[in-house]
C-alpha cells in the first residue's frame, strides 16, 4: 500500500474550504481496496495512532484536516461497481467523484437526487456529512438515498449494514459483529429537530442502524462502498433567475412557490413543483455581477428555481404557471431570466455555484477561518429568522452574504471580517444567529456538519449532556478513540466518559 511520510508530498490534504490552519500528520495512507484499508487499521489499532479520513476536501468545517497521526485518502476508491437503470440504483466506491456519479447516472437516464452543488466532493464525503444540494428541496438529503454501506471499523473489522435490517431501540441496541464481538450502542436522549439536519449523530428510538453512519463525519467508521438509490431524470429542467427590487418580495415569492410545490396540483395539473428554490441577497448579487455583467445592478434580491418536466407534462403550461406567480410578486417579467436551452441552464447553475466559490476565494485571501452559519429552522419560524439576520446586519455593519436553500428554510450566512479587530465582533454575531436559530427550534447545521470549527454551536443545540451522549456512541464503536478526532466534539470529552 502506498504510504507517504514526507509531509511536503501531502500537505494539500491539510486544507478544505474552512481555511482552518495548522493541520499536520506524520503520514498519509492511500489504500487501493478494502483489504488494504482493513489491514492498515488492524495494525494501527493497538498503537492507537489517530486517523483522519480525507475525501474531496470540499467540506466547510475542517473535518478532513488531520491534527496529528495518519490521514487516509479515499481517492483510489474511485470506481462505479454497478449501476442498474431498471432498479434505479448504483453501487460505488466511496472515493468516486460526485461528478462521475452524476455522469454515470445520466447516461442511464437517472440522477443522484441529493445533488450537492460541489461536484469535486467524493460520494463518501457526501454520505459522511449527509450533504444536501439545491434539489434537496424536492428530493431530500443524501440520507434518504443510502441503501447499504460497507465499512471498516477502527480495529479493521469489516461491517456491512443494509437499510431495513438492524434497528436500535432503547434497551435493545446491541450490534453483533461477524467476529463475534458485540457492541452496545448507547442510544441517547437528545431530540433531533424534525427538519433538514446534519448536526451530530442521527439518533432516535427505533432508528435504522445505517442512519448512525450517515453524517458521522469520519468518527465511527471508514465508508468503503455505498449502494444508493437514483431517481428518474426529468426529460427537461426549466430554470430561471427572478430578480426583485425588495428583498421581502423575494421571500414572499419563495414562500408561495414552496406552498404551491408542496400542495396537491391544481385541477389542470399545472402547479409549480420546484426541484430547487434558492435565494441570493443584495450582497450575493454584487458578487454575481462581477462574474456576469448582465446581472441587474439595481436589484436587491433574486430567486433561482428549477422545475422538472417529465414526459406527460406540458412545458408551456408549467412555464405559464410560474410566470403567473412571478407577476403576482411584483417581480417584473423583464427582470426574469428563463433558460431557453441547455447551455443557458448550465450557465445559470454555474452562476448559482459561483456564489459559494467566490466567498471561499475571499475567505482564502483574507487569511481568516471561514465564518459561516448553516442554520435551518422550522418553516413557520423562517420569517423571524430572516428578519433577525437583516436587523442584526442593520445594526452591525460588517460585510456579509446571505444565500442558499430558502425553499428548505435554510440559508447560509457568511460573515467576512476585514481585520483582526472585526473578527471578534463577527464571531459574536454568528453566535447570536446560532442562539436565535436554536431558540426557534432549528438546527445549527442543516447540511455541512460540525467538523472542528462548530463545536460551540452544537453544544448550544444539545447542551453538554447531549455532547457526552454523542461521545459515548463514538466510544462504543471506536473504543481506542482513533477515528476523526476533534470532529463533532473536542477529543478531550472522550476522556470524561
Ligand atoms: C463551493 C462549494 C459549494 C458547496 N455546496 C454544498 C451544498 O450545496 N450542499 C452541501 O451539503 N455541501 C456543500 N458544500 C460542502 C461540501 O461539498 C460537502 O460537505 C461534501 O459532502 C464534502 O465532501 P468531500 O468529499 O469534499 O469531503 P471532505 O471534506 O474530504 O470530508 C468531509 C468529512 O467526511 C469524512 N469522510 C469523507 N469520506 C469518508 C469516508 N469514506 N468514510 C468516513 N468518513 C468520510 C471526513 O473525515 C470529513 O469528516 C460545498 C462546498 C463548496 C466548496
396: domain CATH number is 3.30.70.2740
C-alpha of residue 327 to centroid of ligand 1, in Å: 38
Task: Give the pLDDT confidence score for residue 131 in this predicted structure.
Answer: 97
Task: Give the pLDDT confidence score for residue 208 in this predicted structure.
Answer: 97
Q: What angle do CA 390, 393, 394 make, to 5 degrees?
A: 85
Rounded Cα–Cα distance for residues 439 and 437 (Å): 5
281 and 384 in one domain? no
C-alpha of residue 142 to centroid of ligand 1, in Å: 12
CATH number for the domain harbouring residue 133: 3.30.465.10
- Residue 433 domain-assigned (yes or no): yes
Q: Which numbered atom of ligand 1 lies nearest the CA of 122?
A: 25
Asked if residue 275 lies in contact with residue 307, where contact means CB atoms within 8 angstroms, the answer is: yes
- Residue 64 domain-assigned (yes or no): no
- Residue 50 domain-assigned (yes or no): no
301 and 219 in one domain? no
Domain count, the chain: 3
- Residue 121 domain-assigned (yes or no): yes
**Ligand 1: does its nearest atom lie under 6 Å from the Cβ of 38?**
no
329 and 416 in one domain? no
Closest Cα to atom 4 of ligand 1: 118
327 and 255 in one domain? yes
Domain termination site, one of 196, 212, 231: 231
Closest Cα to atom 19 of ligand 1: 59
C-alpha of residue 446 to centroid of ligand 1, in Å: 13
| Beta-strand relationship, 110-111 and 80-84 | unpaired
Domain residues for the domain of 256 are 233-357
Domain termination site, one of 174, 208, 231: 231
Q: Which numbered atom of ligand 1 lies nearest the CA of 221?
A: 43
Task: Give the pLDDT confidence score for residue 115 in this predicted structure.
Answer: 74
201 and 129 in one domain? yes
- Residue 29 domain-assigned (yes or no): no
Rounded Cα–Cα distance for residues 259 and 278 (Å): 15
Rounded Cα–Cα distance for residues 51 and 69 (Å): 6
What pTM did the predictor assign?
0.96
Per-10-residue mean pLDDT for the chain, 497 residues long?
A: 95 97 98 98 98 98 98 98 97 97 94 84 98 93 97 98 96 92 95 97 97 98 98 92 94 95 73 94 96 91 93 81 88 85 90 95 95 97 98 96 98 96 95 98 98 98 98 97 98 95
Mutation choice for ligand 1 from 50, 55, 218, CB with most ligand atoms inside 8 A: 55
- Residue 90 domain-assigned (yes or no): yes
Amino acid at each position: 500500500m502506498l504510504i507517504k511520510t514526507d509531509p511536503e508530498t501531502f500537505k494539500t490534504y491539510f486544507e478544505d474550504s474552512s481555511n482552518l490552519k495548522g493541520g499536520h500528520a506524520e503520514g498519509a495512507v492511500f489504500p487501493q481496496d478494502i483489504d488494504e484499508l482493513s489491514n492498515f487499521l488492524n495494525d494501527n489499532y493497538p498503537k492507537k495512532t489517530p486517523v483522519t479520513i480525507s475525501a474531496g476536501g470540499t467540506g466547510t468545517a475542517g473535518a478532513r484536516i488531520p491534527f496529528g497521526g495518519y490521514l487516509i485518502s479515499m481517492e483510489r476508491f474511485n470506481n462505479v461497481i454497478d449501476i442498474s437503470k431498471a432498479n434505479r440504483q448504483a453501487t460505488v466506491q466511496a472515493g468516486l467523484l460526485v461528478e462521475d456519479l452524476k455522469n454515470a447516472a445520466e447516461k442511464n437516464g437517472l440522477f443522484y437526487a441529493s445533488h450537492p452543488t460541489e461536484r469535486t466532493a467524493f460520494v463518501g464525503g457526501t454520505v459522511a456529512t449527509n450533504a444536501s444540494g439545491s434539489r434537496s428541496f424536492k428530493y431530500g438529503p443524501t440520507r434518504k438515498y443510502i441503501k447499504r454501506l460497507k465499512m471498516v471499523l477502527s480495529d479493521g473489522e469489516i461491517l456491512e449494514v443494509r437499510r431495513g435490517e438492524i434497528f436500535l431501540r432503547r434497551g435493545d441496541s446491541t450490534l453483533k459483529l461477524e467476529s463475534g464481538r458485540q457492541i452496545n450502542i448507547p442510544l441517547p436522549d437528545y431530540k433531533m429537530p424534525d427538519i433538514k439536519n446534519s448536526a451530530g449523530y442521527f439518533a432516535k428510538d427505533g432508528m435504522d442502524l445505517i442512519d448512525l453512519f450517515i453524517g458521522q463525519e469520519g468518527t465511527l467508521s471508514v465508508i468503503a462502498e455505498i449502494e444508493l438509490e437514483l431517481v428518474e431524470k426529468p426529460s427537461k429542467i426549466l430554470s430561471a433567475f427572478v430578480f426583485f427590487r425588495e428583498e421581502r418580495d423575494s421571500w414572499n415569492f419563495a414562500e408561495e412557490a414552496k406552498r404551491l410545490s408542496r400542495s396537491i396540483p391544481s385541477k389542470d395539473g399545472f402547479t409549480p413543483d420546484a426541484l430547487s428554490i434558492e435565494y441570493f441577497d443584495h450582497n450575493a448579487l454584487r458578487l454575481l455581477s462581477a462574474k456576469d455583467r448582465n446581472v441587474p445592478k439595481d436589484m436587491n434580491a433574486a430567486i433561482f428555481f428549477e422545475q422538472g418536466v417529465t414526459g406527460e407534462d406540458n412545458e408551456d403550461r408549467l412555464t405559464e404557471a410560474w410566470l403567473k406567480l412571478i407577476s403576482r410578486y411584483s417581480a417584473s417579467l423583464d427582470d426574469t431570466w428563463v433558460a431557453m436551452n441547455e447551455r443557458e441552464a448550465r450557465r445559470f447553475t454555474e452562476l448559482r455555484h459561483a456564489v459559494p466559490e467566490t466567498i471561499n476565494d475571499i475567505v482564502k485571501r483574507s487569511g481568516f477561518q471561514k465564518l459561516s452559519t448553516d442554520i435551518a429552522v422550522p418553516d413557520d419560524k423562517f420569517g423571524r429568522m430572516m428578519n433577525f439576520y437583516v436587523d442584526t446586519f442593520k445594526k452591525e455593519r460588517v460585510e456579509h452574504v446571505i444565500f442558499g436553500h430558502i425553499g428548505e428554510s435554510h440559508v447560509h450566512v457568511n460573515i467576512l471580517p476585514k481585520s483582526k479587530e472585526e473578527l471578534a465582533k463577527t464571531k459574536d454575531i454568528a453566535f447570536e444567529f446560532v442562539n436565535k436559530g436554536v431558540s426557534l427550534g432549528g438546527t445549527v447545521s442543516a447540511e455541512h456538519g460540525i467538523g472542528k470549527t462548530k463545536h460551540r454551536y452544537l453544544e448550544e443545540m444539545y447542551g453538554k449532556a447531549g455532547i457526552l451522549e454523542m461521545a459515548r456512541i463514538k466510544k462504543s464503536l471506536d473504543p481506542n478513540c482513533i477515528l476523526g478526532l476533534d470532529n463533532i466534539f473536542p477529543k478531550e470529552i472522550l476522556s470524561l466518559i
